[in-house]
Structure 1
Amino acid sequence: MQTKTCRLAYLDWLRALAILCIFLFTAARSFTHSDKIDYIMNSSFIPLLFFLSGATSLHMALKRNNTRMILLWIRRLLAPLLTGLFLLLPLLLCLEQPEVVHREGFASYYTTALRRALHPANWHYLWVVVCLAFYMIMMTPLFRWLRTASARKFQQSLYWFVSGQRVYLLLLPLAVVFVTGLLTGASGYVFVFLYWWLLLAIGFFCMLQPGLMDSLERNRRCSLLALLTAVALVMAGHRYQAGSLVALLVEPFHAGLWVFCLTGYAKKHLDREHRLRTYVNLFAWPFYLLQQPLVIIIAGFFPDHRLSPLIVYLFVVLSTWLSAVLIFNLLIKPFVITRFFFGVKPGTPPVTTGKVVKVPMPQSDFFY
């Protein structure tokens, strides 16, 4: 394989943008329970997060053997998942029922919340982490296959999708899974699991054949036009019964068009280095884990919403972001153990030899 393994700046910026937008929509839930918020997230930024995870997993697999991939999976996904299930999610469930916690006591109800946190129906935003953990296990045979001659041939065959607008044909499996789920009445969990896995696989293959990413950049205006048309048709289908059939035919491609459009424009305009990128890359995953509990805590101070909803929303957003930054810099970043349980790569401490000199530490199979 001759695929480049260097980090691509636009993927990091795009992942930070996806997590930021998920946070903004999550904060809006405190002021409205409209299904439109969940629909927008599930059709745009959450699919983008899975697409990017598939793209970056290729670089991880090419730079590591099977043992180091397993250790990376433990640090990046399993440890944060355990932190979420046994610490953050029970806290979130306690915050959702303050009256019960006040009546029974925090210690007593926390045990109940811990049992509830292990039920899939209560996983909330941790569903993304759970699915990513399973997907990486499912991708293990694919990672091994990358180093074979057949992978090289497959990479060359993917070049057929590069010319013209053939890249959009990669969205057909999404449509098949979507329509099949509707016709067979499959379980919602099964449908979503397969749908998100296909998005991750598309991201993996787009990075396997770099020409596909170039095609997304070249067709970014076409993706934007198709996306705006799809959004208009879906909105019309939800509002008018006459357009429901058209919306049903367009909706399977909705998430894919969001992903292709944002990726194309990001590759064109965000593929540049900045001194903040390293920090943002470290901060993004802990911020995703912390944002929903912090939003509920801070929004709980405004039960009556006597102020303007916009002012309260801005206050909640800014306060949550500032609180997450403080927690990250004071409690997570300085300590190896907290870095591990929040999926943050440990730093390389300076070595003192008469004067303070930063010496690169040798790579560890566990952390790198």
Structure 2
Amino acid sequence: MQTTTCRLAYLDWLRALAILGIFLFTAARPFTPPATSEQPDQVNYMLNSSCIPLLFFLSGAASLHMALKRNNTKMVLLWIRRLLAPLLTSLFGLLPLLIWLGHWESGSTGTLWSYYGTAVKQALHPANWYHLWVVVCLALYMVMMLPLFRWLRKASARKFQQSLLWFVPGQRIFLLLLPIAALFITGLLLGSSGHLLVFLYWWLLVVLGFFCMMQPQLMDSLERNRRYSLILLLIAVSLVIAGQNYHAGPLAALMMEPVHAGLWVFCLTGYGKRYLDHEHRLRTYVNLFAWPFYLLQQPLIIIIAGFVLNWQYPPVLEYIFVTLSSWLLAVIIFNVLIKPFVITRFFFGVKPGTPPVATGKVVKVQLPQSEFFY
């Protein structure tokens, strides 16, 4: 399998922007009215249609490089460090703390230690996972991708890589969205379980990112067709808005969802490859900070918003305060409690720093090139 494994700056910046978008949407949730049949949850819809699909697509693209540089044993160790350890940290640390704080704010008494067992049982229930369902899905997807990782080193993979060139000319790249839309619509027509449908839907986005990175000219095609992606995205958004304003049936809206999400991914990836493929000294820090920030952002938002919602200020000012204070606290926690220590780096999925290199009387610490997401 002949594919370059150098780091691509635009993937790192797009991943950071996707997590930033998830953060901004999550911070808006406390200030939006509950969803009803007449007034759907617009924040959740935009989150599931743009940032989360992009995150899964980028994860699939990055997994190709991870698999090419590592054998099966190293891939398992990387999976434990980048996905399993942060997931366990959240399920047995962050979420129980968040549940206990909600229990304490409701007027109940008792310390965290006395309530910890009950909090852990509640944290292990999928209904209380909040943002962690993305981590759970990624952990399962990487296990499901193992056959593809092994297949990469076979001759059939090279033949398949060449066959993907058919999608490069013109606007054929958009045909890659058809399998995703077909699965989604078929599941709706057959009445399959909603959770299973969403799980397979996100997995196809991971596989799509894997194949687009497997044949780099597909990424070049996304960059070349970025304007077409934007035009089609605007049309899809207009149809979605028109359907909601004129009370179109839920089936019609759901059938538009996979195309809508795929166009968001193609548009953002195309423009990101064109304008964000530049090196910057902050990129190493952003890569280290992005994953812990994703784990910390929702607990911090929920805690801070619990106090801010009692204030008598315009919602816009309260939203700005929640956003800035949550981000600032996450930066402080990362720099003070996570980044300096090997054990906390491991539990939050941060690559361990390389040991100091002594040169005479001066000790220089080499900054690590963080791995991409997992």
TM-score calculated relative to the size of structure 2: 0.93
CA distance in 2 between counterparts of 1:345 and 1:250 reads 39
Q: Please, which of 292, 308, 313 is the counterpart of residue 314 of structure 2?
A: 308
CA gap of 1:295–1:159, structure 2 versus 1, over 3 A, is same
Q: Please, which of 208, 211, 214 is the counterpart of residue 208 of structure 1?
A: 214
Shift of residue 115 of structure 1?
0.3
Instruction: State the secondary structure of the residue aligned to 1:345.
Output: coil
Structure 1: unaligned runs, 5 residues or longer:
none
CA distance in 2 between counterparts of 1:74 and 1:26 reads 27
1:96-111 matched pairs, under 5 angstroms: 96-100=102-106, 102-111=108-117
Name the Cα RMSD after superposition.
Answer: 2.0
1:300-351 deviation line (CA, Å, top 9, x unaligned)? 2223241111111111111111100010001000000000010000111323
Q: Please, which of 222, 228, 231 is the counterpart of residue 234 of structure 2?
A: 228
CA gap of 1:169–1:320, structure 2 versus 1, over 3 A, is same
Asked if 1:141 corresponds to 2:141, the answer is: no
> Any conservation in 2 of the 1:283–1:328 contact (CA below 8 Å)?
yes
Asked if 1:22 corresponds to 2:22, the answer is: yes
Length, aligned pairs only: 364
**Bigger mean CA offset, 109-118 vs 329-338:** 109-118
Shift of residue 359 of structure 1?
7.1
Q: Please, which of 74, 83, 94 is the counterpart of residue 80 of structure 2?
A: 74
CA distance in 2 between counterparts of 1:213 and 1:30 reads 37
Counterpart code for 1:308: P
Shift of residue 2 of structure 1?
1.6
> Any conservation in 2 of the 1:217–1:268 contact (CA below 8 Å)?
yes
Shift of residue 232 of structure 1?
0.7
Instruction: State the secondary structure of the residue aligned to 1:307.
Output: coil
CA gap of 1:248–1:38, structure 2 versus 1, over 3 A, is closer
CA distance in 2 between counterparts of 1:361 and 1:325 reads 18
Instruction: State the secondary structure of the residue aligned to 1:352.
Output: strand
Asked if 1:60 corresponds to 2:55, the answer is: no
Structure 2: unaligned runs, 5 residues or longer:
36-40
Shift of residue 120 of structure 1?
1.5
CA gap of 1:246–1:193, structure 2 versus 1, over 3 A, is closer
1:278-293 matched pairs, under 5 angstroms: 278-293=284-299
TM-score calculated relative to the size of structure 1: 0.94
Counterpart code for 2:9: A
CA distance in 2 between counterparts of 1:29 and 1:344 reads 28
- Residue 54 of structure 2 is matched in structure 1 by 48
CA distance in 2 between counterparts of 1:245 and 1:91 reads 39
- Residue 170 of structure 2 is matched in structure 1 by 164
CA distance in 2 between counterparts of 1:242 and 1:347 reads 54
Shift of residue 105 of structure 1?
4.5
Shift of residue 174 of structure 1?
1.2
1:188-337 matched pairs, under 5 angstroms: 188-241=194-247, 247-337=253-343
Shift of residue 61 of structure 1?
0.4
CA distance in 1 between counterparts of 2:206 and 2:335 reads 31
**Bigger mean CA offset, 328-337 vs 174-183:** 174-183
Instruction: State the secondary structure of the residue aligned to 1:113.
Output: helix
CA distance in 1 between counterparts of 2:367 and 2:205 reads 36
- Residue 187 of structure 1 is matched in structure 2 by 193
1:9-48 deviation line (CA, Å, top 9, x unaligned)? 0000000000001001101112114511111111110010
> Any conservation in 1 of the 2:212–2:218 contact (CA below 8 Å)?
yes
- Residue 2 of structure 2 is matched in structure 1 by 2
Counterpart code for 1:345: K
- Residue 133 of structure 2 is matched in structure 1 by 127
Q: Please, which of 92, 104, 110 is the counterpart of residue 98 of structure 2?
A: 92
Shift of residue 108 of structure 1?
3.2
> Any conservation in 1 of the 2:97–2:112 contact (CA below 8 Å)?
no
